[in-house]
Structure 1
């Protein structure tokens, strides 16, 4: 392999500066933020300087194209994709590794002047991490984004998706024009860190993903009555925080009764109102994110969460409201591509295992329209969505070499 790991490392480190905060060493690059779009424009700039064709579509996806001059423009493309946005206080590998590794693949192909039978596109998708429900860019590319989503989606702070898009110079309804013609896609590959401990603990270099967990996200309100913390008797309170505390205690029971060993339920954000030390919380707003590999299980989990929250609201004299922000169906990667990736790993003498993904990824939307594969490399101690997220550079190199081998094999083959 002729992958230049130092070049890849340098590019990835430069990208990590967008949204970086010195106080906690985290990266703050939420979808459609100033830092997010500064990173997108920077990536397009360096790709253009190296002679690649770049563009940004109507939803903010960055697309970098590389193809041989004698390849017909309607030839289906081999696509490499992942996301450029981050969670608040995120790490430098999540999503961005797949984009920069894709760039390194086409840099290498161009330097070697390899004759290709198919074009290659590297895609940096927009708003994957869930500020407005997640996977917005991938949904637009695959025709799953709807006008209703565009006009009604908002983040937990109440900022509308349409307003966030306009703030970056995008016309919201133009997002629908990002849809790709499935007939012009040969295959889709994504390289990603595992974001879990399995590969790191077992010493396996590569995860070949067979399926991606489904996920639903709720914004929940429990509304009680604010009151004086010193004078209101405990038995007479309508304390919204006690409702949240009771629900948190119920999570393990809900999973035991209605979940599986792949179920995850998380309360990731909570806000007490009015949020004063000497005032009983009159309202608590919080998120629930639940995941499983089976959609029927997800439906059962949702029903159990509603039932538990309704009972808790009655117990504490609260009102219960919720909004389902997103529902992403579990998806299987293409079996022939799973086998193909495993074969390429064997050729490179990389040890690997076939495994599920507990986290959602852009790949899951491409499975409906093209052959799709997802490759994992280890995350040290399984840490992700945190400033100390890290992967060894030798694992980054192994994953990128495998991605390169897959893309090269597909792109030189006319079939």
Structure 2
């Protein structure tokens, strides 16, 4: 059978239409954070697109929106998905592209009246961007949500998840019923923008993900002694900021000695207290984000970072404290899925690149329960999480055709 082709114009129309929901006219960013009014409007828009395609619509207790094409045989289904919620001041593609392409694949199969043995289901997961501290939709489907979490999950402003759900007429405890039987899902496939510069610089239209990075984040504190900037000699200071400065310079060495070529470490946030221009800093608080695709490497990096922080604290006469704020284990994509994607890439004449994902995705949560695969398309300039985020339409079409024909092959 000749490869089926997606309707690129339909994809374009959907992307541009959804991008207007939550759009800020001042900075041109999209503000469709999970369970805001804009997010719920986006879910309603998706419902209308599903129904216009003549497909069944469903929303579960975690407000995951789904639809499916029923197969002729009973057995584990193939799930595709991503999310339509955004970070503040977002671009038009992160998450959204995977949902729209997934819907387009189902529309194409339905329009072509192709009979498949296996059911294909599309899911638009709630809160992948972690407004409430996790990936609520995919965690719910994987049975990782419990009543205590529902009662305590809050966003950065102290807004409770359960209050937001109730505000939209949803019962928080219904999220517990969103859990799926792992045996009912055979594979999970997700298409996503790369959110990095690799494919764009290589000039390749698609990436096939082999591993999804794990990560841990720490909140770190150096406690010293605040003192007068003019009267305290340099050699008599317990300067907390100098501890941070020393540690920042240690990061490349630690990655070289204990990490891999897929290791990343970032200090993305720091606060110097008391924060006066004429006062030696007595306290520094900062974040540390560390990523790698290997559990063992992450463990070795954690040990090396602790040792470095302790040594700096002793040398600078500081007190060092840290708290682990999050940990997500790495996930290896299914070899079978990778091989299927590579075969279809060859059939379509696409030059693909086997690569890791340095960002977390719903596929990472689903990968704890079922075999997963991921397709990447290039991000212009490697930019994401900003209004400048974009991917060429030709690359979107290539990734969408790869997903469509892989799904047909897997479901036939």
Q: TM-score, normalised by structure 2?
A: 0.87
User: How far 1:274 sits from its partner (Å)?
Assistant: 6.1
> Per-residue deviation at 1:393?
0.4
Q: Match of 1:198?
A: 198
Q: Which residue of 1 is the match for residue 102 of structure 2?
A: 102
The answer on whether the counterparts of 1:133 and 1:325 sit within 8 Å (CA) in structure 2 is: no
Aligned CA distance change for structure 1 residues 50 and 231 (closer, same or farther; 3 Å)? farther
- CA–CA separation in structure 2 for the residues paired with 1:380 and 1:204: 12
User: Which 5+ residue runs of structure 1 have no aligned equivalent?
Assistant: none
The 5-angstrom pairing of residues 10-409 of structure 1 reads 10-67=13-70, 71=72, 75-147=75-147, 149-157=149-157, 159-163=159-163, 165-222=165-222, 240-272=240-272, 283-313=283-313, 319-409=319-409
Report if the CA contact (8 A) 1:208-1:338 is conserved: yes
Question: What SS does structure 1 have at the residue aligned with 2:98?
Answer: helix
Deviates further, 288-297 or 380-389: 380-389
Distance 1:166 1:225 in 2: 47
SS at match of 2:57: strand
Aligned length: 409
Q: Distance in 2 between matches of 1:130 and 1:322?
A: 22
1:4 aligns with 2:7: yes
C-alpha separation between the residues in 1 aligned to 2:387 and 2:224?
Answer: 36
Which secondary structure does the structure 2 equivalent of 1:196 belong to?
coil
Secondary structure of residue in 2 paired with 1:59: coil
- For 2:308 and 2:226, locate their aligned partners in 1 and report how far apart those are by CA, in whole Å: 23
Asked if the contact 1:192/1:374 (under 8 Å) is kept, the reply is yes
RMSD: 3.0
> Displacement of 1:243 after TM fit?
4.1
2: CA distance between counterparts of 1:307 and 1:318?
14
SS at match of 2:369: coil
CA distance in 1, matches of 2:181, 2:69: 18
Give deviations 1:43-90, integer Å, cap 9, x for gaps.
Answer: 22332343322233233322223336xx47x64322111122223333
Contact 1:133–1:217 under 8 Å retained in 2: no
With normalisation by structure 1, the TM-score equals 0.86
Per-residue deviation, 1:185: 1.4
In 1, the alpha carbon distance for the partners of 2:380 and 2:37 equals 30
Q: Any idea what the Cα deviations from partners look like across 1:297-353, whole Å, max 9, x if unmatched? A: 111222233333344455566554433232111111111111111111111111112
- The change in CA–CA distance for 1:230 and 1:365 in structure 2 (over 3 A counts) is same
Deviates more, 1:328-337 or 1:58-67: 58-67
For residues 124-176 of structure 1, the C-alpha deviation after alignment (integer angstroms, 9 at most, x for no partner) is: 11222344444332222123345555455555555555555555554444333
Q: 1:34 to 1:234 in 2, by over 3 A?
A: farther
Q: Which moved more, 1:343-352 or 1:111-120?
A: 111-120
8 Å contact from structure 1 (residues 3, 397) kept in 2 = yes
Q: Tell me the secondary structure at the aligned position of residue 140 of structure 1.
A: helix
SS in structure 2 of the partner of residue 387 of structure 1: coil
Any idea what the Cα deviations from partners look like across 1:266-289, whole Å, max 9, x if unmatched? 122344556666776665543322
CA–CA distance in structure 2, aligned partners of residues 174 and 319 of structure 1: 45
CA distance in 2, matches of 1:319, 1:163: 39
* Structure 2 CA distance for partners of 1:237 and 1:6, relative to 1, 3 Å: farther
Q: Secondary structure at the match of 1:53?
A: coil
